[in-house]
Amino acid sequence: MEYLLIVFVNVITPMLILLAIGVVLQIKFTFNVKALGNILTYCLIPAAVFMNLYHTVIDIEILLDVLMFVVLFTTTLIITGHLFSKFLRLNRQQTAVMKNSIVLINSGNYGLPVSQLVFHANPLGVSIQIVLIVYQNLLTYSYGLYNLVSSTQSGKDIVKQFLRMPIIHALWLGAVLNLANIQLPQFIELPISHLSNAFIAIALITLGAQLAQIKVKTLWNRLIYLSAIGRLIISPTVALLLILLLRIDGVTAQSLWIASSFPTSRNSSTLALEYDVESELAAQIVLFNTVASSFTVGVVIYLSSLLFG
């Protein structure tokens, strides 16, 4: 119970406050939510991802240990999302949102604070979470972006969309500068850092503004709850089985299992808004996942301490 309270107070509550601010501001001023989404996609997200890759020191040994797990884990979730969509007979746009909601994880502004809280006395747990953040960034703007774009476009248009996305260039540029140990001049790094720091607040306010436009009846959409089952229940179950199968133990096992239980990535909603693909459904899924995870994540944290602590 203590873990549930800590996670809710320190992680969920600040996020809900920013969402509420977005709702109130949207009701009062009626923002152009699409324009806010463009600011996120073409400015703030690339800056945040670039700074993440540019500054993170990735331990190669940890990366190799985690690599097999994340590949098997992601592949299983992709298959799960595909089966969910086929079973429910969803259209292409709903299928894209459903797949992303199960596969894409909020490893950044949710996962990192939780990991810092749980592993405050063991830096290895936080280091693994940073590796997972980088991996999720790559997955979001490859697999996740492809899902959304392919639901409305095909072939050559999809390739063009990938090449035009600033996030793609931010990913490789940040990685190259990191590996080459190239130091940016202060006058360049500082404004990028400011944009990166603004990302979380603007993203959550934008999501709140988006939620303010949603009709109450959409709260009863079955896809919201089915996606939560996939992300919050099936995902950690699959992760635990893989951890046991691969005989991973200790802090690495604990960190991977906790990371598998985090809610749907907020970026899945941001991208859905940008490409106008079931954006209301995507926003509702993120909101419900985030609130529900305050209980499910706490349970996984507690069980992981018993099994691998």
Summarised one tens digit per residue, pLDDT across range 25-52 is 999 999 998 888 889 888 988 898 888 7
User: Residue 270: enclosing H or E segment and its boundaries?
Assistant: helix 266-274
Residue 239: the pLDDT is: 97
User: Can you read off the two tokens belonging to residue 95?
Assistant: 């299928």
Distances (CA, A) of 20 to 73, 110, 215, 223, 290: 34, 17, 16, 23, 14
Q: Give the residue among 104, 130, 103 at the shortest CA–CA distance from 119.
A: 130
Give the three-state DSSP class for 302.
Answer: helix
Q: Beta partners for 105?
A: 264
Please name which of 257, 226, 227 lies closest in space to residue 243, comparing C-alpha atoms. Answer: 257
| Tokens, residue 170 | 């931010």
d(CA 137, CA 53): 10
Domains assigned to the chain = 2-308 (1.20.1530.20)
Per-residue model confidence (pLDDT) at position 145: 82
CA atoms of 236 and 213, how far apart (whole Å): 32
Low-confidence ranges of the chain (pLDDT < 70): 1-4, 58, 109, 151-159, 161-162, 215-220
* pLDDT for residue 215: 63
Distances 74 to 128, 148, 233, 238, 240 between C-alpha atoms, Å: 16, 18, 15, 10, 13
CB 121 within 8 A of CB 19: no
What is the C-alpha separation between 300 and 258, in angstroms, rounded? 6
Q: For position 156, what pLDDT does the model report?
A: 64
Residue 272 in tokens? 């859905």
| CB atoms closer than 10 angstroms to residue 43 | 15
* Residue whose structure tokens are 């909603």: 269
